Structure 1
Amino acid sequence: MSDREVGLLDTTLRDGEQAPGVSLAPDEKAEIATALDRAGVSVVEAGSACTGDGERETIRRVADLGLDARVTSFARGVRRDVDLALDCGVDGVNLVVPASDRHVEGKVGTSRDEVVETTEELVAYARDHGLWVEVIGEDGSRADFEFLEELAEAAHDAGADRFCFADTVGHTGPQRTYEAVSRLAELGPTSAHTHDDLGLAVTNALAGVAAGADLVHATVNGVGERAGNVALEEVAIALDHCYGVETVATTELYDLARTVADATDVPLAPNKAVVGENAFAHESGIHTDGTLKDERMYEPYPPETVGRERRLVLGKHTGRAGAKAALAEHGVEVSDDELAAVVARVQRLAEQEKRVTDADLLAIADDVRGRERDRRITLLELTATSGGPRPTASVRLEVDGDERVASGTGDGPVDAAVGAVREAVAGSGDSAAVAADADLDSYHVDAITGGTDAVVTVEVEMSQGDRSVTVRASDGDITRASVTAMVNALDRLLVADEEADPATADD
């Protein structure tokens, strides 16, 4: 397939939003659409104009962004839906019509002949009004193939730009997908729309491309109804890595995944292909040692391909090479005997707590080397309130021996407290002030105990320049746990910078 031109149609804003509990605000849809366009996605399905006034306003907003991508609206097999799409200013419509007898007779209550006739009329109407038209044969994987061909041929003859084979309920396998798409591709441009109910969404999408499809419907992170749609990032990298087929700028995939995960509140599974936290993480001593010797030793492609970075994770399988490399990232050198002691203690700690953070490693290294570390930032007092119209927080910190007090407001008490911490650190006016601009790369609640005296554990990852640190803190109050973790992370970043470049730190 290396000489094929294949595009991606993203339906995150429509099919993805149909996932239970997902509701995207207009700003979020515009942000996602812009990110999709930046990645080079061919078609962005902005929503379903028939849903309501609010949805139509959002579709208009996406259509007015001036994207390079073609912007479309989902439309049912009725003229009113086409008119509503036209009113939104989209470039085209994804016109869905029933293909299987279950949908033709049981859902719509019509006949095959009437479906063909309606499709011809609607395609001609949409084309007469200047729209790009894709006809989707709903439940095509359970349709009679002869009727599916008849429907596709009628759509093309009426002027449709393409016909889509839809595995609407994730019912089929790659052999049947290949057979169906092969027959449809003989009639004209063909798309593939696959779902993951059997865990075969990517396999079926690739089978469709191999059979002649030149457009794949997908959603970012695979978000969607039931088990979800085929994941855009997985299809893109599979086509690129395995077949040399370029669909999008793969370096944008991780940022795109994070944008959608944040907007949908559907977190990425750690073992998620391409964009999961563990996709380029190495803990095993054998794997870490091999990766340090040859970056491709235990990875199918470089993490930079999809906008990622490689991580060496500390845990019960950590070996000498991994611990030494992790310490070196923080400017810490140890002797061979000290390294052996550090590794042993890391492994013991991991058996108890599962995850060993950078702060844990550095504390162990300090203890093994017999050093007492002087903190540069210490949390002395925290007050947070959320009862009023705007949550507020105030903090008292000790920064390089001086007390600093600051307050802030935010969307919640944690947001307010984090803002106050940054303000206090920035107000120090010395070398520590640079820490106020450190990036908060990730924040999540790692564990919560049960009962009325529940303890929450918060883990944050912060970075500045090429230095990053992960710190965990636990407390009965989530705001205090969050602020403690952040303060400790900022302190570690400053100390690491000081140890790596003492001359600069002394100035």
Structure 2
Amino acid sequence: MLIDTTLREGAQLFGAYFSLDTREAIANALIDLGVEEIELGWVGQEDMDILARRVRARAGRTRLSVWCPCRESDVPRAAALPVDGINIGVPVSDAHIRKRLGIDRPGVLQRIAQTVLAARMLGVGYVSVGLEDISRADLEFARTAALTAAGSGASRVRLSDSLGQLTPRRTYDLVARFRAALSIDLAVHCHDDFGMATANAITALEAGADYADASVLGIGERSGIAATEELAAHLTLNTGTRRYRPGGLRELCRFVSRAAGVPIPRTKAVAGEDIFACESGLHAHALNKSPNLFEPYDPASLGMDRRIAVGGKSGRKAVTDALGHLDFHCTEQALPVLVEAVRSLAREQGRPLSSDEFAGLAARFAESG
């Protein structure tokens, strides 16, 4: 279901430069995760042949692919690489056709047919055709382009929302329309310009798409695309699929964060350090009773720990629960004083209290045993 394109779309991130060893490490981690396909980069990229050969040795069932422009002259270089397939990209919106390619609609259809046929004749096993800027294209023409690709021997059509214009509802309708027209594989490439890439990718899969593109941390052009870690976690933890092994996701995110120079926000879904940290009194008390009241999944499923701290937002119940973990108890008279001391110190520090700080206050106001 997942095509990871960290090494192609992600490598287009402004200021990101991945060495050959870094690219190999990312690819190996994605193989360990269990993604169905890794887009290793693009035709003509430096050291692509070396990277493909290194990764090929341990790819197993993971399909390896490269991106290629919709030009017949570029196909031989793609076909010569030790990969399983090529992903051809071609715009289908009139603005791109006219201003970028300098041709017309019939010219696009001819180019698609010639490029796909050339790939097939050179023995490429899996040929995907990406219809770029689909959200601004005439959908009847885009459908004709998709059918032209399929009729020429393409294995898959990939719908690319190049500027992140789609909403989940529009994504569902778009995918359903193309799913009804095609008997070959269907994929989506969702950009995140308005923060809907992951939701759109999940919606596409629910609407019948076979694959969704993603990159680690969602990195890519501008605001990036759907996030691999979010899709893999959702599919594993919410739908019950056993395709993926998410235990290494957070380390993969940290590795890509360092390599790309992209800090991970502490509240970032799946990857953030504080997504299972709680200070709020009501929530903390509920978590001590039953964690699933305020947690969507067990933190251990992603190799994380739950952190409950007391601070400026804590009330009597949260402080009492924290005392219990230290084997302290507090009289009714002393408890309000301790709560206020906790809040006061937290406000002074500008953060929740550490375990040692709380223990120090508890020793002053409570009794052990």
Question: Fold match, TM over 0.5?
Answer: yes
For 1:305, the aligned partner's letter is: S
Which of 310, 330, 334 is 2:328 aligned to?
Answer: 334
Return the letter of the residue paired with 2:347.
Answer: E
Q: 1:222 maps to what in 2?
A: 218
Q: Is the 8 A contact 2:236 2:244 kept in 1?
A: no
Displacement after TM superposition at 1:242 (Å) = 4.6
1:79 alignment partner, one of 52, 58, 72 = 72
TM-score, with normalisation over the residues of structure 2?
0.88
Picking from 160, 165, 172, the partner of 2:166 is 172
Whole-angstrom distance in 2 between the partners of 1:29 and 1:318: 45
Cα distance change of structure 1 residues 66 and 239 upon mapping to structure 2, 3 Å threshold: closer
Give 1:42 deviation, angstroms.
0.2
Verify: 1:94 aligned to 2:87, yes or no.
yes
Q: Which residue of structure 1 lines up, in the alignment, with residue 115 of structure 2?
A: 122
Instruction: Return closer, same or farther for 1:162/1:336 CA change in 2, 3 Å cut-off.
Output: same
List aligned pairs for 1:336-355, cutoff 5 A: 336-337=330-331, 343-355=339-351
Report the counterpart of residue 428 of structure 1 in structure 2: none
C-alpha deviation, 1:159, in angstroms = 1.3
Tell me which residue corresponds to 2:367: none
SS in 2 for 1:95: strand
Aligned residue type for 1:11: T
The corresponding residue for 1:146 is 140
Q: Which residue of 2 aligns with 1:11?
A: 5
The structure with the larger Rg is: 1
Is 2:175–2:208's contact at 8 Å kept on the other side of the alignment?
yes
Residue 304 of structure 1 deviates from its aligned partner by: 2.5
Distance 1:311 1:366, change over 3 A: closer
Quote the Cα distance in structure 2 between the aligned partners of 1:105 and 1:87.
Answer: 31
Question: Within the alignment, does 1:40 sit opposite 2:34 as a pair?
Answer: yes
**Deviation of the 1:164 alpha carbon:** 0.6
Alignment length (residue pairs): 360
Q: Is the 8 A contact 2:247 2:302 kept in 1?
A: yes
Matched, 1:299 2:295: yes
Q: For residues 259 and 225 of structure 2, what CA distance do their matches in structure 1 show?
A: 17
Shift of 1:193: 0.8
SS at match of 1:369: helix
Shift of 1:202: 2.1
The 1:15–1:347 alpha-carbon spacing in structure 2 relative to 1, beyond 3 Å, is same
Determine if contact 1:23/1:264 at 8 Å carries over to the other structure: yes
Q: Do the aligned residues in 2 keep the contact of 1:100 with 1:138 (CA within 8 Å)?
A: yes
Distance 2:67 2:171 in 1: 23
Most deviating of 300-309 and 181-190: 300-309
* Partner Cα distance (2:143, 2:267) in 1: 39
Which of 181, 191, 196 is the matching residue for 2:175?
Answer: 181
Aligned to 2:309: 313
Distance 2:75 2:330 in 1: 72
SS of 1:193's equivalent?
A: strand
Give unpaired runs (5+ residues) of structure 2. Answer: 365-369
Contact preservation (8 Å) 2:5, 2:38:
yes
Match of 1:203 in 2: 199
Q: Which residue of 2 aligns with 1:385?
A: none
CA distance in 2, matches of 1:99, 1:140: 6
In 1, Cα distance between equivalents of 2:261 and 2:329: 45
Offset at residue 9 of structure 1 (A): 0.3
Q: Is the 8 A contact 1:12 1:223 kept in 2?
A: yes
- Return the structure number with greater relative CO, CA threshold 8 A, min gap 6: 2
Within the alignment, does 1:269 sit opposite 2:274 as a pair? no
Q: Give the secondary structure class of the aligned counterpart of 1:50.
A: coil
Aligned positions of 1:401-416 closer than 5 A: none
1:314-353 deviation line (CA, Å, top 9, x unaligned) = 4311345555666777xx4433157766543332222123
CA distance change for structure 1 residues 241 and 21 in 2, over 3 Å: closer, same or farther? same
SS in 2 for 1:192: strand
Structure (1 or 2) with the greater strand fraction: 1
Separation in 2, partners of 1:347, 1:116 = 68
CA distance in 1, matches of 2:324, 2:64: 48
Distance 1:216 1:49 in 2: 21
Taking only the aligned residue pairs, the percentage that are identical comes to 35
How high is the TM-score relative to the length of structure 1? 0.66
Secondary structure (helix, strand or coil) at the match of 2:212 reads strand
Structure 1 Cα separation of the partners of residues 336 and 253 of structure 2: 39
In the alignment, which residue of structure 1 is the partner of 2:55? Answer: 62
Q: Deviations over 1:358-408 (max 9, x none)?
A: 3xx4145336536xxxxxxxxxxxxxxxxxxxxxxxxxxxxxxxxxxxxxx
Shift of 1:296: 0.4
Distance 1:326 1:278 in 2: 19
The alpha carbon displacement at 1:211 in A equals: 2.1
- Distance in 1 between the 2:8 and 2:270 partners? 23
Q: CA RMSD in A?
A: 2.5
